[in-house]
A and B are shown apart, each in its own frame.
Chain A
Amino acid sequence: MSQTTVSVPRCPPLLAVPLRAVPLAPLSASLTAFSRRIATSHPGLFRRLGDYANTPFVIDPTDLPLVILLHPGNGKPKITLTRRPVQGAARIAGPLAALLGLVHGGFDGDALFFSRDLVIEGDTSASLALRNAIDDAELDFSEELMNLTGPLAAPVHRALLLLERRTGLCLTRPEEPAW
């Protein structure tokens, strides 16, 4: 038997603290628009959710002062940010870095779960479906953001990469060299 651990970085306070004061409604609206864009470019993601394409998920980045309520809405997703406790069929909680790493394929969900960096509650099956659907979608938030911002894409992308390097957050999909 052998044991190893890899540490998941925590979101730096510089990023987390301002979120305590920011009004959440406009941010929610932007994220909903962003998620609809992803829904359009990755229809397979919602197909994969199957029975859970209408299940409300609570995503809780534990190092941020807010939680994310995701309604997949059968392919018309809605994202609501809130600072109050909310109910969902399934709750996935962990440091932002773990959640982003999961989306971008930088981390393995089961491994994060075994090490308790990630905690799931409620409908385990729904969480699993979401995890698998997202893993297959090969999402890249930075790429999606670039598409969103048009002419400003290049500077935004550079800023994201800088942020990624400074914070250790996984904001882009790591490109694996071919064998």
Chain B
Amino acid sequence: MVMEIVCPAGTPAALRAAVKAGAHTIYCGFADETNARNFPGLNFDRTEMRESVAFAHHHGSKVLVAINTFPRAGDEAIWHRAVADAESCGADAVILADAGLLDYAARHHPNLRRHLSVQAAAANADMVNYYADTFGVKRVVLPRVLSVPEIAAINAETEVETEVFVFGGLCVMAEGRCSLSSYATGRSPNMNGVCSPASHVEYHDHNGVLDAQLGGYTIHRAQKGDAAPYPTLCKGCFTAGEKTDYLFEDPVSLNAEQLIPQLQKAGVTALKIEGRQRSRSYVTQVVRNFREAVDALEEGRPLPQGMLARLSEGQAMTTGAYKKTWR
């Protein structure tokens, strides 16, 4: 079986670009707080979702709808409606993180396939199997804290399909369990679907030296001519003890392209690309590249060498936790 490429789409245009570029599956979300990329100008209204699902199905691609924030107390109906609307729009599955919402979906929409979002941070086989047994989850998106042997170990102990991130932004914290962003800005991935939100970002140029602030905290300083990464908290520059550095993670992004054969051997079903906030140009280039890679793998050809570095944050790449020394 050729590995499934799961591609992001922040807009209907990006979804069409992904389909044309060869994505087997596209994931996207409604334009509200129910999904973890609730950014200005992004995402799908109900009509766009219905039309986009139809477009994808017409071209043989699948659509997954991410409803992966944690419903706010008192307002669960908004999330419940999103699940119902995803089903009526024809989505192939919903990607959920909150246990209460999974419970709801399993009861009220039993025929709608359920995937476990990376935001649920199911980081071991017990948890994966528990979600499968309890809520009928068919696929789990594994958190980005695991090494390839650990992924293989999980797959050896479960029948549930696994999906792993291979390209794009990299969380260094266990996803869905981080409130750094709301501590600094009042807005968090779990509650608002945003991390280090643009509304709280300020850039200040002092004679070519570019300071990036988040919520008033200066967390990056780019010298003249240096790359200027977006000021994401966990990839900021800080001082502890005698050291001033990227203490949590360098401003890098994940590229596990060359690990695809190992991930296939580890039993992974689907390869996920991060970046619903990115342009259709990004989507086209990344999907094309990864589709070529999995097709080459399937046909026993050598993997093409990618040229994706420029698309990445700060223009540097890492294989992240997949290599154990990352820890």
- Residues of A at the B interface (CB closer than 8 Å) are 1-6, 48-52, 102, 105-111, 113-116, 119-121, 123-133, 135-138, 176, 178-179
Does residue B222 face the partner (Cβ distance < 8 Å to A)?
A: yes
- The residue on A at minimum CB distance from B222 is A116
CA distance A1 to B309 in the complex (A): 9
Could you list 10 examples of A-B contacts with CB < 8 Å? Answer: A50-B41, A105-B17, A110-B278, A113-B230, A119-B203, A128-B277, A130-B41, A131-B279, A138-B13, A179-B291
Residue pair A111, B291 in contact (C-beta under 8 Å) = no
Q: Which of A102, A114, A128 contacts B40 (CB 8 A)?
A: A128
Does residue B210 face the partner (Cβ distance < 8 Å to A)?
A: yes
- The residue on B at minimum CB distance from A118 is B228
CB-defined contacts of B256 to chain A, threshold 8 Å: none
Residue pair A110, B198 in contact (C-beta under 8 Å) = no
Known A105-B281, A111-B282, A121-B203; contact A116-B210, beta-carbon cutoff 8 A: yes
Residue pair A108, B279 in contact (C-beta under 8 Å) = yes
Residue pair B282, A124 in contact (C-beta under 8 Å) = no
Residue pair A135, B252 in contact (C-beta under 8 Å) = no
- The residue on B at minimum CB distance from A127 is B198
CB-defined contacts of A120 to chain B, threshold 8 Å: 203
Known A119-B205, A124-B198; contact A135-B11, beta-carbon cutoff 8 A: yes
Residue pair A49, B279 in contact (C-beta under 8 Å) = no
Does residue B312 face the partner (Cβ distance < 8 Å to A)?
A: yes
CB-defined contacts of B21 to chain A, threshold 8 Å: 176, 179
Residue pair A1, B318 in contact (C-beta under 8 Å) = yes
CB-defined contacts of A3 to chain B, threshold 8 Å: 309, 315-316
Does residue B93 face the partner (Cβ distance < 8 Å to A)?
A: no
Residue pair A135, B279 in contact (C-beta under 8 Å) = yes
CA distance A113 to B312 in the complex (A): 11
CB-defined contacts of B205 to chain A, threshold 8 Å: 119, 121
